[in-house]
Structure 1
Amino acid sequence: MVTVSPGPRLTRGVHLGYALGSIGTAAFGTVPGLLLLYYLTDELGVAAGIAGLVVFAPKAWDVLLNPWIGSRSDRTESRWGPRRPWMLAGGLALPPLFVLVFAGPGASPGVAAAWVAVAFLLAATAYGCFQVPYIAQPAEITDDPDERATLMSWRVAALAIGILLAGAGAPAVVDAFGGGRGGYLAMAVFVALLLAVGMLGAVAGTRNAPTLTRVHSEGRLGRTLRLAWGSRPFRLLLTVFVVQALGIGVMLAGVPYYSREVLGDPAAGSLLFAALVAPAVLVMPVWLRVSRRRGKRAGLLVSSLLFAVGAATLLAGDAGGTASVVARVVLVGIGYAGMQMFPLALLPDVIAADEAASGERRAGVFTGVWTAAETLGLAVGPGLLGGLLALAGYASSTGDEVVAQPASAVTAVLVGFSLVPALLVLVTLPLVLRLPPDRRIPERTA
Structure 2
Amino acid sequence: MKVWPYALLGAPLAMVAMPIYILAPDYFTRGLGLPLAGIGAVLFATRLFDALLDPWLGSRFDRYRARGVHREALAIAALILAVVFAALWQPPASLSDPARLGWVAACLFLSCAAHGAINLAYLSWGARLSDSRRLQLEASALRELAGLAGVCAASLLPAWLRQAGSPAEGMLGFSICFALCLFVGMAALLRHAPPWQPAARAPDLAWWQLAADEAVRPLLLPYALNAVAVALPSTLVLFFVADQLASPAWAGASLALYFLAAAAGLPAWQRIAAAIGPLRAWRGGMLLSVACFAWASCLGEGEAGAFAVVCLLSGLALGADLCLPAVLLARRLRPELPLTAAYGVLQAVGKLALASTGLALPLLALLGYQPGARGHWALAACYAGLPCLLKLGAWASSSRLREAFPQCRTGVST
SS of equivalent residue, structure 2 residue 16: helix
Partner in structure 1 of residue 412 of structure 2: none
The one of 304, 309, 325 aligned to 2:307: 325
Partner in structure 1 of residue 157 of structure 2: 169
* Aligned mates of 1:250, 1:31 — CA distance in 2: 14
Where does 1:230-269 land on structure 2 (aligned, <5 Å)? 230-269=212-251
SS of equivalent residue, structure 1 residue 105: coil
* Aligned mates of 2:391, 2:88 — CA distance in 1: 31
CA drift of 1:52 comes to 0.8
Where does 1:238-387 land on structure 2 (aligned, <5 Å)? 238-318=220-300, 321-351=303-333, 354-355=334-335, 360-381=336-357, 383-387=358-362
* Aligned mates of 2:70, 2:129 — CA distance in 1: 11
Mark the CA change 1:192 to 1:394 in structure 2 (over 3 Å): closer, same or farther.
farther
Verify the 8 A CA contact 1:19 1:155 in the aligned structure 2: yes
Partner in structure 2 of residue 100 of structure 1: 87
Partner in structure 1 of residue 51 of structure 2: 63
CA drift of 1:309 comes to 1.9
Mark the CA change 1:309 to 1:27 in structure 2 (over 3 Å): closer, same or farther.
same
CA drift of 1:193 comes to 3.5
Verify the 8 A CA contact 2:244 2:301 in the aligned structure 1: no
Q: Which runs of 5+ in 2 are unaligned?
A: 410-414
CA drift of 1:303 comes to 0.8
Partner in structure 1 of residue 72 of structure 2: 85
Whether 1:117 and 2:105 are equivalent positions in the alignment is yes
Mark the CA change 1:200 to 1:48 in structure 2 (over 3 Å): closer, same or farther.
farther
The number of equivalent residue pairs is: 407
Partner in structure 1 of residue 208 of structure 2: 226
Verify the 8 A CA contact 2:13 2:119 in the aligned structure 1: yes
Q: Counterpart of 1:365 in structure 2: which amino acid?
A: A
Q: Counterpart of 1:367 in structure 2: which amino acid?
A: Y
Deviations 1:261-306 (A, max 9, x none): 0121211111210121111222222111111111111110111111
Whether 1:393 and 2:368 are equivalent positions in the alignment is yes
Partner in structure 2 of residue 3 of structure 1: none
* Aligned mates of 2:40, 2:186 — CA distance in 1: 28
Verify the 8 A CA contact 2:277 2:408 in the aligned structure 1: no
Deviations 1:57-115 (A, max 9, x none): 22222233221121122122578x56433322222221111001011100332221111
Partner in structure 1 of residue 197 of structure 2: 211
CA drift of 1:243 comes to 1.9
Q: Counterpart of 2:213 in structure 1: which amino acid?
A: S
SS of equivalent residue, structure 2 residue 318: helix
- RMSD over aligned CA atoms reads 2.3
Verify the 8 A CA contact 1:304 1:335 in the aligned structure 2: yes
Verify the 8 A CA contact 1:84 1:133 in the aligned structure 2: no
CA drift of 1:233 comes to 4.0
Verify the 8 A CA contact 1:74 1:361 in the aligned structure 2: no
Q: Counterpart of 2:313 in structure 1: which amino acid?
A: L
Q: Which runs of 5+ in 1 are unaligned?
A: 1-10, 397-403
* Aligned mates of 1:170, 1:200 — CA distance in 2: 25
Partner in structure 2 of residue 4 of structure 1: none
Give the TM-score of the pair, scaled to structure 1.
0.85
Name which of structure 1's ranges 431-440 and 115-124 shifts more when overlaid on structure 2: 431-440
* Aligned mates of 1:254, 1:200 — CA distance in 2: 35
Partner in structure 2 of residue 405 of structure 1: 373
SS of equivalent residue, structure 1 residue 104: coil
Whether 1:417 and 2:380 are equivalent positions in the alignment is no
Mark the CA change 1:110 to 1:89 in structure 2 (over 3 Å): closer, same or farther.
same
* Aligned mates of 2:65, 2:138 — CA distance in 1: 28
Mark the CA change 1:189 to 1:413 in structure 2 (over 3 Å): closer, same or farther.
farther
Verify the 8 A CA contact 1:24 1:199 in the aligned structure 2: no
Deviations 1:305-358 (A, max 9, x none): 11122221101114783222101111110111111111122121122xx22xxx
Partner in structure 2 of residue 6 of structure 1: none
Partner in structure 1 of residue 148 of structure 2: 160
* Aligned mates of 2:265, 2:373 — CA distance in 1: 38
* Aligned mates of 1:284, 1:392 — CA distance in 2: 38
The one of 32, 37, 40 aligned to 1:49: 37
Q: Counterpart of 1:305 in structure 2: which amino acid?
A: L
Mark the CA change 1:235 to 1:97 in structure 2 (over 3 Å): closer, same or farther.
same
Verify the 8 A CA contact 1:167 1:273 in the aligned structure 2: yes
Give the TM-score of the pair, scaled to structure 2.
0.91
